[in-house]
Structure 1
Amino acid sequence: MDQNWDDLRLFLAVAREQSLSAAGKLLRLDPATLGRRMARLEKTLQTVLFVKSPQGYALTEAGSDLMQRATKAEQAMRAATAGVPVQSDRLSGQIRVGAPDGAANYLLPQVCAAIAAQNPDLDVQIIALPRVFNLSRREADMAIGVSAPTAGRLVVQKVTDYKLHLAAAEGYLSAHPQIASVADLQQHRMVGYIPDMIFDRELDYLADLGVNRVALASNSVSVQVRMIQQGGGIGIAHDFSLPATPGVRRILTEEVSLTRAFYLIRHADDRRNARLSAFADALAVGLRAETARLEALAAGQTAPKA
């Protein structure tokens, strides 16, 4: 790769953090200076690497391609510094990923299958549990979380935002009173989390809507979605779950639209592990692309290329 390594180092930080300010803190570099460096890199390569928005910097297809190549260069640099030979580009061995069951059911299977297809000697294990994982006890090599932990020796990277909306089965909607506003929800059965088993405050969706009773509840996202699909009632569903749930559609999308985020969480001691870092980068890129693809399908739009 003939690009200046320092430019690539800065690029990787912005790509992983999806924010000039967050990357700037890690690099101890002024965000404005970092922004100019990224603009210069795009000009040099004559391609757009990021989609810039108030929410941050998201990689374009060209940016994702450069990230993969830059990650390989980073691995080579680390190996050379450590005095060990550069390993094959392919990943091998076992990697265990912990995730809440929404991500584990609707996103990770296809993302991890794609990574495994490119790395035949790699074994990927997905632990789907509706709770926070303890990486210090090595329950997993890395975890997906819905909030950024503030305690412990951890490295936290925001992966992507995702959207949630109220949803109901077509059959339920046709058999029950019309829903024209949030106030109308009081006349309907609600599906959601078991209140005392909500493991992260980011998941307490219904309380903000003034819903006091959850008629059908589960600590599992996939069970909630199935309850909605079976006509059990109305609930908050991840947009990325709806393409896999025929007969269910979003409602009151203008009045109720929630945005949450997935974070990739790793133990600080693993930062210099080239194998885990390469997998983490591939996982983050895949999760961003698959979330965008499925959300576009849910919204009835043309899905971007995977």
Structure 2
Amino acid sequence: MPDFDWNDLRAFLAVARVGRLTIAAQRMGIDHSTLSRRLSALEGALGTRLFDRRPSGFALTNDGERLLVDAERMESMAITLRARLDADVHQVGGTVRVGTPEAFGTYFLAPRLAELCAAQPGLEIELVANPRSFSLSKREADLAIGMTRPETGRLFARKLVDYALGLYAARGYTELADAIRSTDDLPGHRWVGYVEDLLWTSELNYLPQVSPAIHPQARISNVITQLEAVRGGAGLAVLPHFLARTCPDLVAVLPEAVRIVRAYWLVAHADTRDLPRVRLVSDFLTRQAEAAGDAFWLKGP
């Protein structure tokens, strides 16, 4: 295959993982016409079609599926080699993308990035704080914070921290609403909850644990917007304590009676977990979570 260019495999992997030429080109830092030429060159060198071009995006053909396995093996070898070279020269640099739930990324991690950036001027951090799961095998992130331990894949996971949630309402709501003396009173109040078919993990389905008789009047897809709705007096909601404590205008409701516990898991891919830059950020996250102490709890656990 005299016309085969191994570098074109990077283009192939980028498109295979996102299914969109423009998005893949953005991730590679090239224009989409260049990326298209690389794909065409690879297909020409191999003498086969790797993608079906559809209105919905690029779908792998059977030959593309077979190539994907070998291409990812080659990528893994390149990553391992890069890790060894970095370790030999004691350099910590490059980019680490961290995917997190929006509350953890916005209210816990983001305020602590200054310390990491100041200590590691050669390191670049991409923080993606979105209500979603991140695929490390598709390289959507180098590290991911999840709410469950992954069961499949070449992934390494460890519990980062347990955290607690409770009921909250705006101070004005509690002053105007009927008294809430026990959990029996809760179904009679207005509630803010999640849009059920948009839940990215079942761990967010809190309200049945509080009371099966609760039916939210306002359903919102992410917790930060829920927080603002509660602050505006929309009703009661289950919120993480580390998030709610940033708003002194919120009141904890029945804190002794309703206490929900969840966990954040730190997940890395087997191919990249030992890269110095990934390991450094992983260790930083672990130290920050340990140092936070009772920040994740209304009171000590």
TM-score range normalised by the length of the shorter chain: 0.5 to 0.7
Is the Cα–Cα contact under 8 Å of residues 230 and 237 in structure 2 kept in the other structure? yes
Aligned runs of 1:267-286 on 2, under 5 Å?
267-286=269-288
Q: Matched residues in 1 for 2:203 and 2:102: separation? A: 15
User: Does the aligned pair in 2 maintain the 1:166–1:237 contact within 8 Å?
Assistant: yes
* Gap change, CA 1:295 and 1:149, over 3 Å in 2: closer
Quick one: which amino acid aligns to residue 286 of structure 1? Q
Q: 1:154 to 1:295 in 2, by over 3 A?
A: closer
Q: Match of 2:90?
A: 87
Q: Does 1:117 align with 2:118?
A: yes
Q: Deviations over 1:64-122 (max 9, x none)?
A: xxxxxxxxxxxxxx99x95762415xx42211110111111211102323211211222
1:226 to partner: Cα distance: 0.9
Q: Give 3-state SS (helix, strand or coil) of 1:183's partner.
A: helix
Question: Which TM-score applies when normalising by structure 2?
Answer: 0.68
User: Which of these two proteins has the greater Rg computed from alpha carbons?
Assistant: 2
The answer on 1:134 being equivalent to 2:123 is: no
Deviation at 1:191, TM superposition (A): 0.9
Distance 1:82 1:295 in 2: 37
Q: 2: distance between equivalents of 1:293 and 1:212?
A: 29
Unmatched runs of 5 consecutive residues or more in structure 1: 1-77, 302-306
Written as runs of structure 1 = structure 2, the 5 A alignment for 1:206-245 is 206-208=207-209, 209-245=211-247
| CA distance 1:147–1:171, shift in 2 (3 Å) | same
**Equivalent position SS for 1:281:** helix
SS in 2 for 1:249: strand
Q: 2:137 is paired with a residue of what secondary structure?
A: helix
SS at match of 2:237: strand
- Cα deviation for residue 149 of structure 1 reads 1.0
Q: Give me the whole-angstrom Cα distance separating, in 2, the residues matched to 1:82 and 1:135.
A: 21
Instruction: Tell me: CA distance 1:116–1:272, structure 2 relative to 1, closer, same or farther (3 Å).
Output: same
Aligned mates of 2:135, 2:296 — CA distance in 1: 30
Against the structure 1 CA distance between its residues 82 and 122, is the aligned structure 2 distance closer, same or farther, given a 3 Å change threshold?
closer
Paired AA for residue 274 in structure 1: P
- Give TM-score, length-normalised by structure 1: 0.67
Q: In the TM superposition, what is the alpha-carbon distance from 1:278 to its structure 2 partner?
A: 1.7
- Number of residue pairs the alignment of both structures matches: 218
Question: 1:263 matched to which residue of 2?
Answer: 265
- 1:37 is matched with none
Task: Provide the residue aligned with 1:104 in structure 2.
Answer: 105
1:223-260: CA deviations, max 9, x gaps?
A: 11111111110000100012321200211111110111
Which runs of structure 2 are paired with 1:149-160 in the superposition (5 Å)? 149-160=150-161
Secondary structure of the corresponding residue to residue 265 of structure 2:
strand
Q: Secondary structure at the match of 1:263?
A: strand
1:49 match: none
Aligned amino acid, residue 225 of structure 2: V
Alpha-carbon contact 2:186-2:214 (below 8 Å) kept:
no
In structure 1, the partner of 2:43 is none
Native 8 Å contact 2:163 2:262 kept in 1: yes
Deviation sequence 1:244-294 (CA, Å, 0-9, x none): 21200211111110111000011111133122112111112113323x353
Determine if contact 1:111/1:287 at 8 Å carries over to the other structure: no
> Within 2, Cα distance between the matches of 1:225 and 1:110?
18
Equivalents in 1 of 2:191, 2:282: separation in Å?
37
Within a 5 Å distance, the mapping from 1:190-205 to structure 2 comes to 190-205=191-206
Contact 2:96 / 2:277 at 8 angstroms: preserved in 1? no
Asked if the contact 1:108/1:287 (under 8 Å) is kept, the reply is no
Question: Any idea what the Cα deviations from partners look like across 1:110-164, whole Å, max 9, x if unmatched?
Answer: 2323211211222211112111111111011111001111011111111110010
Match of 2:248 in 1: 246
Matches of 2:163 and 2:180 in 1, distance apart? Answer: 24
Secondary structure of the equivalent of 1:253? Answer: coil
Q: Counterpart of 1:167? A: 168
Q: CA separation in 2, counterparts of 1:261 and 1:113?
A: 25
8 Å contact kept, 1:111–1:283: no
CA distance in 2, matches of 1:272, 1:125: 18
